[in-house]
Structures are given as C-alpha cells and as structure tokens.
Amino acid sequence: MVGEEPIKPCPHMKILLSALADDTLTGVMRWFTEQHARGCTRCGSAVVHLRELRTQLRTLNTSSPIAGELRLSEERLTAVEVAWNRIDSNPPAPAIEE
C-alpha cells in the first residue's frame, strides 16, 4: 500500500532506485545502489514502495475495472474485414511470398 509520508529519495538516485526496483540494475551500479539504499532511510523506503507499485502495475490487467473481456464493436470488425479484403486483393511482393 501507499504510505502516509511523501516518498522523497535522494534526487540523484531516482533512476538507479527505479532500476533496482525492477531488477534491471546489474554489476557495480547495483552494488552501489543497494549499499546506498541500506544506509539511506528515504531511498530504502522508496525502493520498497517502487517494488509495491510495480507489483500493482503487473497485476493491473486482472484487478482493473477493465480486467474482463473486451471486444471490438461490430462496426469496427466490419471495417477490419473490409480492410483485410483489400489487403488480400493486393498480392504481397514476390520476394517475401511463400
């Protein structure tokens, strides 16, 4: 959950903390950022909150009001069909033809 206090990490660390939170940070930069976050309460807290946010975002497709089945309207489907027919009537370039 989102905490009460505003999250105010060290400004120069924001990009590194964000990358640490999604595990895309490697090597010496990861070591440096982890060390900083261990010693800095605000940055340590920011990483925790960023990881929570990432979990929320990754599960949004199942938790959102738009999580259920969504469909194109009949009108749009008809337009797609017409466009596909038009594409089918134009043969693809010989070089890439099967």
Partner 1 sequence: MRAMEGIFGRRMRSERERFAEIARMCETALLRVALRLCKGGHDCAQELVQDALVKGYEAFRSGKFREGYSPQAWLTRILTNGFINDYRRKTRWDAGVDVETLTAGGEVGPAQTRAAASDTPDGALVEGIFEEPLERALSALPDGLRVVVLLVDVEELSYAEAAETLKIPVGTVRSRLARARFALQEMLQEYARERRLI
Binding flag, residue 53, partner 1 (CB under 8 A) = yes
Q: Which is nearer to partner 1, 35 or 78 (CB)?
A: 78
- Give one DSSP letter per residue of the chain, joined into a string: ---SS-----GGGHHHHHHHHTT---HHHHHHHHHHHHH-HHHHHHHHHHHHHHHHHHTHHHHSTT-S-----HHHHHHHHHHHHHHHHSPPPGGG--
Candidates 27, 74, 89, 94; binder of partner 1 (CB under 8 A) is: 74
Binding mask 1-40 for partner 1 (x = CB under 8 A): -xxx-xx---x--xx-xxx-xx-x----------------
